[in-house]
Copies of this chain bind each other. A is one copy, B any other.
Amino acid sequence: MVGLPAAAARGTVAGFSELDRIGTPLTLKRGETVFYEGDPADAYYKVVSGAIRSCKLLADGRRQIGQFFLAGDLFGLGVGATCLFSAEAVTDAVLVRYARQQVDRLVGEAPAVGRCLLLVAARHLTAAHQQMLLLGRKTAEERIASFLLAMAEHSGGDLFLLPMTRADIADYLGLTIETVSRTFTQLRHDGLIALRGTSEVAIADRDALEDIAEGA
């Protein structure tokens, strides 16, 4: 699993080109919100560049990030009238926006588009199941190992940049900032990863990291 272009490995599939004709671009600065949980759900989005996070909040402000959407990813597929999570820019980002009404019409005309969307939804569901296993049953070390391997896979190599802060990682993995930081430090001391600065990561011992990630 190396060297696949990110778009091919993740979001883009056959039948997608029809969609591109009805999309309009959208530029976001770091921290800006694409839509809020509960907003009318009237569009789908594709990430062109940058990173987006999906967030859900509890009444007292506790936050859970459901997914990070990176270049090539499609998101916003909802059911019913309202968005089920809010979406925010992790970094400066460019999106393409597809009005829902037009997408739905397209699905009626071209079954390939429907299959494409179903495929994307199924992919997100796969990721969600993986994440539920992580959140429900993995230790902090196992969560960080899983996360780093997933980021490496997306980047297509063993050296990559983390676009998000420790706070984002913590809210994605169901941990605190401090535990994330301590676990990074520990993996570095154990020689499984190398860090340059705060965001550049190199996988140093992939096998050991994989053993940890799957609970061996």
Contact = CB atoms under 8 A, between A and B. Distances in A.
Interface of A: 54, 56, 58-60, 62-64, 66, 77-79, 84-85, 104, 107-109, 111, 114-115, 117-119, 121-126, 128-133, 135-138, 171, 173-174, 214-216
A214 B62 CA distance: 10
Given A64-B136, A114-B118, 4 more contacts: A66-B133, A84-B129, A121-B122, A121-B125
Contact of A126 (B62, B79, B123): B79
Nearest to A66: B129
B59 A125 contact: no
| Protomer copies | 2
Nearest to A63: B137
Given A58-B138, A118-B114, A84 B216 contact: no
Interface centre among A115, A119, A136 (most CB of B within 10 A): A136
Contact of A137 (B62, B119, B122, B123): B62
A56 to B, nearest CB: 5
Closest 5 CB pairs of A and B: A136-B174, A58-B215, A114-B114, A128-B128, A135-B135
